[in-house]
Structures are given as structure tokens and as C-alpha cells.
């Protein structure tokens, strides 16, 4: 891929010089045209791959190298040190870094990469224990499946003096919070973090012990018996089905329809030093996200083809297609229509709504990563500092002004745009009230609230 990039550069530089570059009147040339961007091998890195393959980066005068990273920590560290200019990030990473959980760094995001896209998978042995406790819809389990059906498997482990273990990808990942949310909604305590006591395991008082496993390693780790299940993005749930080693029991769309998932993150210092470059990156990514959802996902099969390449996700086409093209396979042969399993643009998916940030912050507080109570204003201010809708609006407006996209494609930039629209109810029925984060936290039966500390 890099060789091709350098070949194209010489040919296209001359063309770009003579071209009436898009948004040239409102956005100046990129201060740093040569960029290295990081990603993890998951299907939701697709906007980066599409922006490269469709030439959207080049349209902006950007010469981009996309580089897969070993894990989320390495990715974040390399953005902070400047080895990467920006990266595909967990939505909680800019927030966690900005509040000093794990790593202290001012990371911002002005682009939400996708909605949904995760699932929770259990091993075949655990599924066999769960299945007799499920409600059936004919000869298939009724969905959504409650974590209460997992209790017999957890109790079985405890009776043997063993911990019941599940994997998630990073302490501030959507996967961690979705898995915790599902477990707690079913009456299982996923444990607490106690950073003020030096305990960052997240397993205090846990019925189910959660640990970090890099996404591509999830199936093999479960097959080896190190964990009994996991929450991860695609294609690593469908991989378990194809390998015959596990069963996805619930998607995150069933936990919370149209939940925020990944973002594109840069350091605040980088964004301030390279404002034109940043805006041009955002323009390319917005166009890529639009392409992915255009005409009712008409381009998804082409996206599957490119994501299957080793330079991107490197999984079998059939595995990637199982979720990217609007279906999802649970138990082998139980294929169901899930048209919104991966959403990249529709429902204003790309806009970084403050409510997204506030939900993550409430979960950090609920499970002890934020050890002390914070006033509602703190949640609002933190969200506004990290999730930069103002920058998104500037990039999007320039696309509208250029005639590349329509105003109807985006939120009304004259409005407040605080709360993400088109979201359904959370699985436990607890209403999310982003303007009253502390009241929201108080409603949970399991989790810290008020001035409680773990």
C-alpha cells in the first residue's frame, strides 16, 4: 500500500497544483501533507481505508500512510508522542486521557467513526449452560438475551473455586462499558476500579472478572480457555462462529441502539498546530463515511473486499461480510437481519455529540475509574473540551459550500446539537439523561453513586 501511495504522489501532485482544490477559499493548504495514521484491525476502521482507496485524502492534498497498531495502548501512546499524527480510537480514549485515567494527555475528537458494531460472545460450553434458561421463539432463542441467563455458568465456575472470566479490549473501551452494562442489567456485578488505592484491575467485588485482550486475539484466547467469553468489534465475533468455538449472544445494538463506538483522535496540540490539515482530514473522513452508507449500503460489498486485505483487517471476506452487509449470525445457522449493525454516516453518526462523551463519563464514574463524585457541570465541561463539534461543523460546512455534500446530510449547525438523535432505549430500561448525569448514575442498582467510593 505504501509503495502505491508513493507512486501516486508524483503523478497527482502536479494535478493538484493545477486543480481548483476543494475548499481552497475557506481552508488553506495542509500545513503537514505527509501523515501517518494508526488503526486497529477492526471493520470500523473502514472510513480510513475508504478515504485512502477512494482518493479522498489525495483530494485534500494529503499523503497518508495507514499503519496497523498492536493494541489500543500502543496506539494511544504513539499519538501522544507524535509518532502517529492521529488514529482510529476507542470513543473513551480521548476522555480517559484528558481526565488523566491511565495516561494524562489532551486528546480531542471532532469525528465519530461509527455507531454500533460490537457483540458479546461466549464459548460453546458456556452457551450449552445458558441455553436451557433462555426464552425461545420457535426453535431459536428470543432476543435480546439477558445476562441473567449467564448466572448458571458463573455459579458453576464458582462452585469449582474458579473465576468466571471474560475479555474486553481496553479499560476505557466501549466494549468494557457495554459488557459491564449488560452484566449489571442481568444482576451480575462486573467489579469496580479503585485507582486511588492503586487497584486498576476493575475486579473488586466482581461476579465476573473482566480482563484486557487485543481484539484479533479474542477467539484464540477463548478457545484456549483463558476466558469464557468476550465483548469485541467485528470481525472477531463472527470469527468465533466460523471457527465453531463460540456463540455471539447479543449485539451492542440490542444493548443500546445506535450507541457511539469509535472516534478519530488527535492531540489538542497537533490540532492547534495543523488546523488546515485537521479540517482536511475531517473532510476526507466525512466523505468516506458517507460512501459507506450511501444508497442503502450499496457499497458495502466493495468495502468488504478492501477490508479483507492484510493491510487493513485481514480476515476472510465471508467473515467480514457477515456483519458489514446487514446480517449477523448468532448460533451457527441463526442468521438474522441487522441492517444497522454497522452505521457509518446515517443518523448523523459522524457528529461528535456531547451526550456521547457524557455517557462514557457516567460509566467511568459508575465503575470507579472516576473515584470521586463530580458535579453535573464537570461532565458538561469535559464533554465540550474533548468532543469538538465546532471543528466538525467547520469541515462539514466547507463540503456543503463546495457542493460536494448537502446541508440535509448534516445536523443543523445553527442548533445546539447536544444529544445524539435516533437512539433507542437501553436494555435495562433506565433512561439516559445526559443533562443530568448524576441523576442517571443514581438510577442503577449496581454501581457507585453519590459520594460512594469502591
Q: Residue 167: give its domain's CATH number.
A: 3.40.190.10
Does 441 fall in a domain?
no
Span 189-206, pLDDT tens digits: 999 999 988 899 999 999
pLDDT tens per residue across span 220-241: 999 999 999 999 999 999 999 9
What are the pLDDT digits (tens) for 264-293? 999 999 999 999 999 999 999 999 999 999
What was the pLDDT predicted at 211?
97
| pTM assigned to the model | 0.94
pLDDT at 86: 98
Mind listing the pLDDT tens digit for each residue in 24-80? 448 999 999 999 999 999 999 999 999 999 999 999 999 999 999 999 999 999 999
**100: containing domain:** 2-115+261-324+342-409
Is the domain of 189 the same as that of 103? no
End residue of a domain, out of 241, 259, 277: 259
Angle at 253 between CA 251 and CA 258, to 5 degrees: 150
Quick one: 124 and 95 in the same domain?
no
**pLDDT grade for 4, boundaries at 50, 70 and 90:** very low
Last residue of some domain: 370, 394, 409? 409
Region 418-440 average pLDDT: 97
Sheet holding 63-68, edge to edge: 63-68, 34-39, 86-90, 262-267, 107-112
- Residue 266: inside a domain: yes
**Which of 231, 259, 287 is a domain's end point?**
259
Both 347 and 274 in a single domain? yes
Query: Model confidence at 102, in pLDDT bands (50, 70, 90)?
Result: confident
Residue 94 reports pLDDT greater than 60: yes
346 assigned to some structural domain: yes
The pLDDT assigned to 161 comes to 94
Residues 56 and 89 in one domain: yes
- Indicate if the pLDDT at residue 12 is higher than 50: no
The share of the chain scoring above pLDDT 70, in percent, equals 94
In a domain, 59, yes or no: yes
**Going by C-beta distance under 8 Å and a sequence separation of 6 or more, which residues neighbour residue 395?**
27, 110, 279, 280, 282, 283, 286
Number of domains in the chain: 2
167, 235: one domain: yes
- Are both 41 and 149 inside the same structural domain? no
Mean pLDDT, rounded, for 426-450: 97
- Judge if 104 and 211 occupy the same domain: no
Same structural domain for residues 131 and 169? Answer: yes
Amino acid at each position: 500500500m505504501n509503495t502505491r501511495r508513493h507512486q501516486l504522489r508524483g503523478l497527482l501532485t502536479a494535478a493538484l497544483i493545477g486543480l481548483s482544490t476543494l475548499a481552497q477559499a475557506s481552508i488553506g493548504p495542509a500545513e503537514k501533507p505527509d501523515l501517518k495514521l494508526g488503526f486497529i484491525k477492526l471493520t470500523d476502521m473502514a472510513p480510513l481505508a475508504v478515504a485512502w482507496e477512494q482518493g479522498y485524502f489525495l483530494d485534500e492534498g494529503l499523503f497518508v500512510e495507514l499503519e496497523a497498531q498492536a493494541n489500543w495502548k500502543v496506539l494511544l501512546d504513539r499519538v501522544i508522542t507524535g509518532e502517529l499524527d492521529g488514529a482510529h480510537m476507542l470513543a473513551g480514549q480521548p476522555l480517559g486521557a484528558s481526565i488523566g485515567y491511565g495516561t494524562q494527555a489532551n486528546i480531542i475528537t471532532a469525528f465519530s467513526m461509527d455507531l454500533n458494531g460490537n457483540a458479546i460472545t461466549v464459548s460453546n460450553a458456556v452457551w450449552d449452560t445458558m441455553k436451557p434458561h433462555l426464552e425461545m421463539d420457535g426453535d431459536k432463542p428470543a432476543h435480546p438475551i439477558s445476562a441473567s441467563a449467564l448466572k448458571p455458568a458463573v455459579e458453576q465456575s464458582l462452585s469449582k473455586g474458579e473465576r468466571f472470566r471474560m475479555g474486553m479490549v481496553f479499560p476505557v473501551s466501549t466494549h468494557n462499558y457495554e459488557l459491564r452494562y449488560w452484566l449489571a442489567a442481568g444482576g451480575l456485578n462486573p467489579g469496580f476500579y479503585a485507582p486511588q488505592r492503586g487497584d486498576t484491575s476493575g475486579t473488586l467485588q466482581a461476579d465476573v472478572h473482566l480482563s484486557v485482550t487485543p481484539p484479533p486475539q479474542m477467539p484464540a484466547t477463548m478457545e484456549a480457555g483463558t476466558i469464557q467469553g468476550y465483548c469485541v468489534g467485528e470481525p472477531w465475533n463472527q470469527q468465533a462462529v466460523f471457527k465453531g468455538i463460540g456463540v455471539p449472544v447479543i449485539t451492542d445494538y440490542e444493548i443500546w441502539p445506535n450507541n457511539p463506538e469509535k472516534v478519530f483522535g488527535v492531540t489538542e496540540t497537533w490540532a492547534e498546530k495543523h488546523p488546515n490539515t485537521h479540517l482536511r482530514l475531517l473532510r476526507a473522513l466525512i466523505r468516506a463515511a458517507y460512501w459507506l452508507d450511501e444508497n442503502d449500503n450499496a457499497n458495502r460489498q466493495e468495502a468488504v473486499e478492501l477490508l479483507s486485505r492484510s493491510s487493513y483487517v485481514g480476515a476472510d471476506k465471508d467473515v467480514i461480510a457477515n456483519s458489514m452487509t446487514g446480517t449477523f449470525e448468532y448460533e451457527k445457522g441463526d442468521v438474522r437481519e441487522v441492517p444497522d449493525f454497522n452505521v457509518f454516516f446515517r443518523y448523523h453518526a459522524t457528529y461528535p455529540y456531547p451526550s456521547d462523551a457524557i455517557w462514557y463519563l457516567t460509566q467511568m464514574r459508575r465503575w470507579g475509574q472516576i473515584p470521586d463524585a463530580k458535579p453535573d457541570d464537570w461532565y458538561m465541561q469535559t464533554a465540550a473540551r474533548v468532543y469538538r463539534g465546532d471543528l466538525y461543523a467547520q469541515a462539514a460546512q466547507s463540503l456543503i459550500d463546495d457542493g460536494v455534500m448537502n446541508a440535509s446530510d448534516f445536523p443543523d449547525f445553527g442548533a445546539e446539537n447536544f444529544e445524539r438523535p435516533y437512539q433507542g432505549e437501553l436494555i435495562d430500561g433506565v433512561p439516559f439523561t445526559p443533562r443530568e448525569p448524576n441523576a442517571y448514575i443514581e438510577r442503577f442498582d449496581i454501581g457507585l453513586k453519590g459520594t460512594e467510593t469502591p
